[in-house]
Amino acid sequence: MKVKAKAEKSHEVRPGQSIELLKELHILTRDGKMNQDSRRKLKQVYHLYNFIEPLLLEAQAEHPEIHLVDHGAGKSYLGFILYDLFFKEQSGGAQIWGIETRDELVARSQALAARLGFDGMNFLNLSVAESITSPALPERIDVVTALHACNTATDDAIRFALAKKAKYIVLVPCCQAEVASTLRKNKATALAEALGEVWRHPIHTREFGSHLTNVLRCLELQAHGYEVSVTELIGWEHSMKNELIIAVQKKLPTRKPTERLNELLQTFGLEELRERFVPVA
């Protein structure tokens, strides 16, 4: 599967966009003006949105009232942008839920949504386990997003999406430490083989661990029948965590990805992480 962003349009504010929101997100200056930094930020916003919009349109074709959950929402930057550019023009049943465990961020987002009149935005203080069973969320979830969800928060979003059988998953992972930590712990054993040289040095352990984490995530999604595309978020110059993973449920064969997933865990001494990545038979 190749997921491409649409050709980028002007990097000016689009008709109907909330100026107050753009100022709140520091995309516009306090007096609502554009400068070079504003144009760069707006370009980044549109670039990410252009990847997600086609998925929203596909979801809308199946269910006019789209249900999107932004997991590990933080300040709900992504959720607000998606609502402003797409959801606020949809029917009343099209809604976004931001899931976050920090009370102060949930309260802040609720206040901003109320101030902007974004009635279809909801914010919940829930853990992953709570969000899977919470009656505050609808049974059908069409799209799950996680933008710069740190360390295992991306895996939590995947866990939620799989439990909810979401059709579309959009991930921009960040700060992945768990696999690197396990590689580091088992480094002495690994160095008995030539392959251990791949992560002998600390910087390589961190970088290779981050790369391997995303490879395992992609295989995990494939092992659940998803078609997976991985690309770079060109334009996000301020972040080295620049990988975009898009998964679409296609009910594809799962045996081979599961086998490859198990092989990689064994090869790199990561068997203790099997429960996180390998689907239950």
pLDDT, position 281: 56
pLDDT, position 15: 86
CB of 184 closer than 8 Å to CB of 205: yes
Q: In terms of Cα–Cα distance, which of 215, 218, 123, 136 is closest to 169?
A: 218
Q: Tokens 């991985």 belong to which residue?
A: 230
pTM: 0.90
Burial tier of 273 (Cβ tally within 10 Å: 0-12, 13-18, 19+): middle
Percent of residues, the chain, with pLDDT higher than 70: 93
Q: Which fold has domain 39-135?
A: Rossmann fold (3.40.50)
**Mean pLDDT of the region 27-34:** 81
Instruction: Name the segment(s) of the chain with CATH classification 3.40.50.150.
Output: 39-135
Cα 56 to its chain centre, rounded Å, is 14
Measured torsion, CA atoms of residues 249, 250, 251, 257, in degrees rounded to the nearest 10: -80
Q: What is the per-residue pLDDT across 198-239, written as a single tens digit (0 to 9) for each? A: 999 999 999 999 999 999 999 999 999 999 999 987 654 444
pLDDT, position 241: 63
Cα 32 to its chain centre, rounded Å, is 29
Burial tier of 137 (Cβ tally within 10 Å: 0-12, 13-18, 19+): buried
Q: At 97, give phi and psi (nearest 5°).
A: -115, 125
**Mean pLDDT of the region 160-172:** 96
pLDDT, position 8: 46
pLDDT at residue 252 is higher than 50: yes
Helices of type H across the chain: 19-24, 36-62, 77-85, 103-116, 128-133, 153-164, 178-185, 187-190, 202-222, 255-267, 274-277
Q: How far apart are CA 247 and CA 61, in angstroms?
A: 18
The single-letter DSSP state of residue 241 is: -
**Mean pLDDT of the region 72-96:** 91
Confidence of residue 85 (pLDDT cuts 50, 70, 90): very high
Measured torsion, CA atoms of residues 12, 14, 17, 21, in degrees rounded to the nearest 10: -20
User: CA 204 → CA 183, 187, 217, 230, distances in Å?
Assistant: 11, 12, 20, 21
Question: Where is average pLDDT lowest: 55-59, 178-182, 254-258?
Answer: 178-182
Q: In terms of Cα–Cα distance, which of 177, 176, 188, 197 is closest to 243?
A: 176
